[in-house]
Structure 1
Amino acid sequence: MSVIQLNQRQLKIIDIVKENEPITSESIAASLNVTRATLRSDLAILTMTGILDARPKVGYFYSGVSDLNLVGNNIKDKKAEDIMSMPVIVKQDISIYEVIVNMFLSDVGSIFITDDNENLCGVVSRKDLLKATIGGSDINRIPIGMIMTRTPNVITASKNEEILLVVKKIIEHEVDSLPVVEASDDESKLKIVGRISKTNITKLFLEMLDN
């Protein structure tokens, strides 16, 4: 059994919400003299752990949790490899149309792209594919490598990375999922070994709170 330690800004956010609930994220940011973007990961962690409750068009409420040291099932020992799922991977030379079919058959929000040596070279999201279809181009002829976000601009997680760090990356970079990678013999090349999505994170927190 272990404890999630909240940082000083998260503790201040809780105090502000307690005194002013319901309160919007804009008002919380103004009270702390920071931007809303700065608070995004803090608010996400506080709501995912059940300390705050967020209601659309209303604001944040304090949930009434009396112990701010939330006890979980060894949550601080959880690594990306403990909860990652199988990645959906395609080669960079297949067509945009094939990737669209693959995405919807797999029911994922992002697909990871590899080169001929099976190394990570890019990622595409539903938004990327939607933009490609709107352009009027022949998506049967254009390879996915033409529209993907390329490395090193792809945000990744390592197998032994702490889950809370992975959550922060997903929220701060506003992505659906991250490829879990490990370095090959050439450290500049990354092999995809899994994926961490918002669904993986939600399942973990649900399990933690249930127990």
Structure 2
Amino acid sequence: MNLSQRQEKIIEIVKRDQPLSGEKIAEHLGISHATLRTDLSFLTMAGILEASPKVGYTYTGVGIEQFLFDKIFSVKVEEIMLSPLLTPQDTSIHDAITNMFMYDVGSIYVTDKEQQLVGLLSRKDLLRASLNSNLQNTPVAVVMTRAPHLQTCTKDYTILEAGAVLLDYQVDSLPVVSEDDPKKVIGKITKSRIFNYIMQQAKQTETNR
């Protein structure tokens, strides 16, 4: 697993000047301590840094634990995927916007009469569409991202593989489709779902040490 440039810089700073408080690390990087919290939590839970009260962060001299990679990143999408929100392609933009905020989702998958995937609606799609003065009568098919341009995955993808697709194509979610029918949506996986799962498992690993 690759660390981000900022995480690598944090490790470099701590190795050089340890022990260091979170505030001092943030000062070295020229950013706020709040911005660093996620990175520091990840590096601590991964076993790369150690945090001691009233002392600060020190470098442990180890890399990311093999346990984290083997047990967490090889988990299949089907184990953590979410239920998808589907809508017919003749749904009005107005109703789609209402549903998106009612169910608090970042994307809606659009299907035809046979429940086959034909497109995706993102918040960006609906934000652009909201400039239309006829939201009640304009179907989502007019503004959706169409199927040929969609990235999907199957339930047998690992979360590492799914995460790579999400990052490579700079999208927030992937429809999880049936292996037997690539247009049948059976779930969805998102950046936030993967991140939350990794953090939950990392925290549990730290607790069980």
Q: Which residue of 1 aligns with 2:62?
A: 67
CA distance in 2, matches of 1:178, 1:201: 12
Contact 2:108–2:121 (CA under 8 A) maintained in structure 1: yes
Q: Higher relative contact order at CA 8 Å, sep ≥6: structure 1 or structure 2?
A: 1
Report deviation, 1:23: 5.3
- 1:35-72 CA-partner distances (Å, limit 9, x unpaired): xxxxxxxxxxx9498239xxxxxxxxx98464313233
Alpha-carbon distance change, 171 to 23 in structure 1, aligned in 2, over 3 angstroms: farther
Query: Structure 2: 5+ residue runs without aligned partners?
Result: 14-24, 31-37, 45-56, 205-209
SS of residue paired to 2:197: helix
1:150 aligns with 2:146: yes
Q: What stretches of structure 1 move > 3 A for 4+ residues in a row?
A: 10-24, 46-49, 62-66
Please report the TM-score for the alignment, with normalisation by the length of structure 1: 0.69
Report deviation, 1:184: 3.8
SS of residue paired to 1:152: helix
Please report the TM-score for the alignment, with normalisation by the length of structure 2: 0.69
Report deviation, 1:90: 0.4
CA distance in 1, matches of 2:59, 2:197: 22
Report deviation, 1:13: 8.1
More strand by share: 1
1:207 aligns with 2:200: yes
CA distance in 1, matches of 2:141, 2:58: 46
The code of the aligned residue for 1:90 comes to: T
CA distance in 1, matches of 2:40, 2:168: 15
Equivalent of 1:165 in 144, 161, 164:
161
Report deviation, 1:96: 0.7
What does residue range 11-160 of structure 1 map to in structure 2 within 5 Å? 18-19=11-12, 22=28, 47=39, 50-51=42-43, 64=59, 66-70=61-65, 71-72=67-68, 74-134=71-131, 136-160=132-156
Alpha-carbon distance change, 17 to 199 in structure 1, aligned in 2, over 3 angstroms: closer
Contact 1:84–1:194 (CA under 8 A) maintained in structure 2: yes
What does residue range 156-195 of structure 1 map to in structure 2 within 5 Å? 156-184=152-180, 189-195=182-188
The code of the aligned residue for 1:162 comes to: T
CA distance in 2, matches of 1:48, 1:194: 32
Say which one has the larger Rg.
2
More helix by share: 2
* CA-based RMSD: 2.9
CA distance in 1, matches of 2:41, 2:80: 17
Q: Identity across aligned pairs (percent)? A: 33
Alignment coverage as a number of residue pairs: 170
